[in-house]
Amino acid sequence: MTKISNRHLEVDKIGLRKLAYRRGAGWVFTELLQNALDENVNHVRIDVGTTPGLSLVKLRVEDDSPHGFRKLSDAFTFFAESCKKNVPDKRGRFNLGEKLVLAICESAVISTTTGTIEFAADGTRMEFR
């Protein structure tokens, strides 16, 4: 018998990506915008651009939330307890949306008041606090 890891579950990023694509392309913008608006921000900026020579889109969302991600691990942890769980007028109660966004990303960076996390194309991540 070989012990493989200390976790019982794994996520297939390709399968998650397929699930995300079923929602259509526009949901990415609405998901990230709604996450910002759930924080009662005054300012949200969304920039979209192409990547020269590649068939990729560069997306940047910036807001003025004083809290950012309260727990940086919420960016990659499925179904963790959410501070929005018992607030019926907030959409992010299931802690799922940004994971679907990350599933369709080649790479990503989340920079927030609690730190920065980089998701590399090779599947690794690095956290900076």
Domain regions of the chain by residue span: 13-128
pLDDT in tens, 85-94: 777 676 665 6
Residue 3 has a pLDDT of: 59
CA 109 from chain centre, in angstroms, equals 9
pLDDT in tens, 43-75: 999 999 988 898 888 999 999 999 888 888 888
- Kindly report whether the global pTM for this prediction surpasses the value 0.85: no
Mean per-residue pLDDT for 96-112? 91
Yes or no: say if 62 and 113 are a contact pair by the CB < 8 Å rule: no
Residue 78 has a pLDDT of: 84
